């Protein structure tokens, strides 16, 4: 018996002896295409190679042949396990679906002492206690939280300014901790706050209960205070002082910050990033405005278009890459979420970039009055009078009723990118999301018309830029590799 | 592809493509058209072995812009045709991968 395979064995693929595996392709630029498989692995191929490959005319002698084979785009006689591996990778990527709803957001009050014109949650003036969550509502909300099958539960407190109703925050934390003695979930707490009303008592409580602080920092003093007006005009000072106090008391990593891009921010990407560096952060999330709440009423949302925001974003990204080249580790967090999907087998819990959509599956929101919404954006929409994504009320509906309601299942099914026109053919689909709330708000239906969708335009541009950067500069690829969670 | 053009003083407002269905299926033609819905609306009419495709631009275009539009549409037709080839050839494999990926998760319906 021969120890070696015959020459004919190796010639098999030369004679068209390979099968195509499921793949999508989309233009990158010029004659280059991105192809991706079901697990999100990608490859950049030239147009002639793409055509030869799909028409079974690609020679195994071509260097691209083995790359296609190693990423499961083709199967030949010695790659029989490719589809088993592919299925495992898809299963890993989708694993969050079985352990759904890990994030539970309690809107403990709509009161706020800031009056930001871009506010997406339609805050109420500080003295209107009618917008506070009661203990009865909190109890009912907590019952629902622990109905979730997720082994990891994160309870996030939002407002308004959540610290204006800190008594209910404390109540929820302590009740959740009691329940968790039996439940034994990985339980975490986060308070979203502008830090303006932070007290030593609150800080000590957060330290004792290991509560993470998430704040807002829009950039340098002048920009931040312009974007985020409050009595005294000292939002920046209070935020910076608050960040320092949290770090001193709770630890350096216990505070994070988010920025929102306003029209005034567009000219200052470098200054905004430098502010984050100055405050000791090792990353920034460059976020556009969302079409909800006061951002619509005050026309803040329409103050710039998607191309202007992309210009801002890419200037910022370029600067961040240069920082990394010169030895300063600093992450652009939106890019990092996408790169994680591109470069690892893991999915993301980031609601905007999931399909099936993250509504309900990724997060549930318990509003101050007991109404339950499918996402933070859903309740923002509701504050504008549109309750399309209201799943029920904690006092009237149970978990099963809300999680199987047409208000949730309808948009999930209708917006699923895997069967949506254009999305189902798009090579970037594994990195993207379906965002039914955004498309409902901007286009009036859950699916949205993708050629006119600013969500599609924004994300396609970012996907292309990230891949192009990795393809043309190996140092950038090394930097990006450091941004992903392995 | 044979074409006729409808022009006004402001520029070209509409054009007409004729596509052989022996080359591109109706599904491929419709998918290609969908990608351009930000620029134009489309009306299809089957004429024997051909499809007449009436394209009305959202804004009047200059002649060069119409030529560029046609080139882009041709490229999209070819891409959609290739996608259909891939889809036809890999459909059973795609279903098998999904079936395995979702097996024993408790998420699939009985």
Q: Say how far residue A205 (Cα) sits from the centre of its chain.
A: 29
Please tell me which residue of chain A has the smallest CA distance to B91.
A22
Q: What is the pLDDT of residue B54?
A: 95
Let me know whether A80 and A110 are in one domain.
Answer: no
pLDDT of residue A86: 87
- Could you give the CA distance from residue B16 to residue B28 in angstroms, rounded to a whole number? 17
Clarify whether residues A57 and A173 are in a common domain. Answer: no
pLDDT of residue B38: 95
Q: Is A46 left (phi over 0), alpha (psi -120 to 50) or beta?
A: beta
Are A416 and A389 within one domain?
no
- Domain stops at, among A386, A403, A420: A403
| Both structure tokens of A64 | 């691209």
Residue A460, chain B, CB below 8 Å: the answer is no
Instruction: Identify whether residues A321 and A391 lie together within a single domain.
Output: yes
CA of A292: how far to CAs of A230, A438, A459, in Å?
21, 9, 19
| Residue-range domains of chain B with CATH | 2-101 (3.30.70.60)
| Contact between B97 and A86 using a beta-carbon 8 Å cutoff | yes
ipTM: 0.89
Chain B positions touching A84 (Cβ under 8 A) are: 100
Which stretches of chain A drop beneath a pLDDT of 70? 1-2, 5-16, 120-128, 293-303, 486
Beta bridge partners of residue A363, listed in sequence order: A103, A359
Give the model's pLDDT for residue A82.
76
Taking phi over 0 as left and psi of -120 to 50 as alpha, with beta for the rest, A200 belongs to alpha
Contact (CB<8Å) A21/B79: no
pLDDT of residue A299: 65
Q: Is residue A272 domain-shared with residue A415, that is, in the same domain?
A: no
**Of A66, A93, A120, which closes a domain?**
A93
- All residues of chain B having their beta carbon less than 8 Å from the beta carbon of residue A55 are 85
| B102 near A CB under 8 A | yes
Q: Do both A370 and A388 map to the same domain?
A: yes
Is A425 in CB contact (< 8 Å) with chain B?
yes
Chain B interface disruption, residue of A19, A20, A22, most B CBs within 10 A: A22
How big is chain B, counted in residues?
110
Domain termination site, one of A93, A117, A144: A93
Answer yes or no: do A273 and A148 share one domain: yes
Angle at A164 between CA A159 and CA A168, to 5 degrees: 85
| Rounded Cα distance, A378 and A292, in Å | 9
Q: Which domain does A244 fall in, by range?
A: 100-403
pLDDT of residue B2: 45
My answer on whether A428 and A280 are in the same domain is no
3-class state of residue B16 by DSSP: strand
Nearest to A364, CA basis, from A147, A134, A88:
A147
* Same domain? A209 vs A337: yes
pLDDT of the residue at A293: 65
What letter does residue A148 receive in the DSSP assignment? S
B95 touches chain A (CB under 8 A): no
Say yes or no for a CB contact (<8 Å) between A25 and B85. Answer: no
Q: Are residues A417 and A290 in the same domain?
A: no
Q: Are B52 and B16 in contact (CB under 8 A)?
A: yes
Question: What is the C-alpha separation between A164 and A127, in angstroms, rounded?
Answer: 10
The pTM of this model reads: 0.91
Q: Does residue A463 fall inside a structural domain?
A: yes
Q: What is the pLDDT along chain B (110 residues), one digit of tens a residue?
A: 545 666 667 789 999 999 999 999 999 999 999 999 999 999 999 999 999 999 999 999 999 999 999 999 999 999 999 999 999 999 999 898 888 877 765 555 54
Beta bridge partners of A109: A132
Q: Which residue has the tokens 């979730």?
A: A148
Q: State residue A483's pLDDT score.
A: 96
DSSP E strand stretches across chain B: 2-8, 11-20, 40-47, 50-61
For A14-34, the pLDDT digits (tens) are 555 899 999 999 999 989 999
Instruction: Count how many domains chain A has.
Output: 3
- Looking at the structure, tell me whether residues A57 and A164 fall in a common domain: no
The verdict on A160 and A250 lying in the same domain is yes
Closest-CA distance, A85 to chain B, in angstroms, reads 9
Q: What is the pLDDT of residues A47-90, one digit of tens each?
A: 999 999 999 999 998 999 999 999 999 988 877 777 888 888 88
- Please provide residue B54's backbone torsions phi and psi, each rounded to the nearest 5 degrees: -90, 115
- Rg for chain B (alpha carbons), in Å? 19
């Amino acid at each position: 018996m021969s120890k070696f395979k015959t020459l004919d064995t190796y010639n098999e693929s030369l004679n068209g002896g390979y099968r195509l595996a499921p793949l999508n392709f989309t233009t990158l630029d010029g004659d280059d295409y991105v192809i991706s498989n079901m697990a999100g692995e990608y490859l950049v191929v030239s147009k002639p190679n793409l055509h030869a490959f799909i028409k079974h005319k690609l020679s195994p002698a071509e260097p691209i042949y083995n790359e296609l084979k190693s990423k499961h785009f083709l199967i030949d006689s010695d790659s029989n396990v490719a589809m088993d591996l592919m299925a495992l990778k898809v299963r890993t990527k989708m694993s969050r679906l079985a352990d759904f709803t890990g994030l539970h957001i309690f809107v403990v009050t709509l009161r706020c002492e800031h009056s930001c014109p871009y506010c997406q949650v339609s805050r109420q003036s500080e003295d209107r206690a009618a917008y506070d969550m009661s203990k009865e509502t909190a109890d009912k909300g907590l019952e629902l939280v622990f109905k979730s099958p997720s082994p990891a539960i994160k309870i996030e407190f939002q407002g308004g300014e959540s610290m204006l109703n800190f008594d209910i925050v404390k109540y929820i934390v302590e009740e959740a901790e009691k329940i968790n003695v039996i439940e034994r979930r990985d339980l975490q707490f986060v308070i979203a706050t502008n830090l303006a009303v932070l007290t030593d008592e609150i800080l000590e409580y957060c330290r004792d209960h290991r509560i993470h602080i998430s704040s807002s920092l829009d950039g340098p003093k002048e920009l931040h205070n312009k974007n985020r007006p409050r009595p005294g005009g000292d939002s920046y000072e209070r935020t910076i002082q608050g960040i320092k106090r949290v770090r001193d008391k709770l630890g350096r990593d216990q505070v994070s910050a988010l920025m929102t891009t306003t029209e005034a921010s567009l000219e200052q990407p470098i200054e905004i990033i430098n502010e984050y560096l100055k405050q000791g952060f090792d990353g920034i999330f460059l976020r556009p405005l969302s079409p909800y709440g006061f951002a619509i009423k005050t026309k803040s949302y329409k103050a710039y278009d998607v191309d202007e925001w992309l210009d801002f974003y890419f200037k910022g990204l370029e600067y961040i890459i240069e920082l990394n080249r010169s030895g300063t580790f600093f992450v652009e967090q939106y890019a990092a979420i996408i790169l994680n999907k591109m470069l690892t087998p893991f999915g993301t819990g980031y609601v905007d970039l999931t399909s099936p959509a993250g509504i309900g599956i990724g997060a549930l929101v318990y509003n101050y009055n007991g109404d339950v919404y499918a996402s933070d954006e859903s309740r923002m929409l509701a504050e504008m009078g549109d309750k399309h994504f209201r799943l029920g009320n904690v006092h009237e509906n149970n978990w099963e009723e809300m999680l199987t309601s047409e208000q949730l299942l309808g948009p999930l099914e209708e917006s699923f990118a895997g069967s949506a026109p254009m999305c189902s053919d798009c090579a970037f689909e594994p990195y993207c999301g379906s965002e039914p709330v955004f498309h409902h708000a901007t286009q009036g239906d859950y699916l949205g018309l993708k050629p006119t969708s600013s969500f599609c335009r924004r994300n396609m541009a970012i996907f292309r830029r990230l891949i192009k950067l990795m393809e043309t500069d190996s140092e950038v690829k090394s930097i990006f590799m450091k941004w992903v969670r392995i | 592809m044979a074409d006729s053009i409808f022009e006004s003083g402001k520029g070209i407002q509409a054009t007409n493509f004729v596509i052989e269905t022996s080359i591109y299926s109706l599904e491929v033609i419709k998918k290609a058209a969908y990608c351009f819905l930000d620029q134009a609306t489309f009306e299809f009419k089957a004429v024997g072995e051909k499809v007449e495709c009436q394209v009305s631009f959202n804004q009047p275009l200059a002649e060069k812009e119409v030529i560029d539009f046609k080139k882009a549409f041709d490229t999209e037709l070819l891409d959609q045709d290739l996608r259909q080839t891939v889809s036809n050839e890999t459909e059973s494999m795609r279903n098998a991968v999904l079936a395995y990926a979702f097996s024993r998760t408790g998420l699939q319906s009985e």
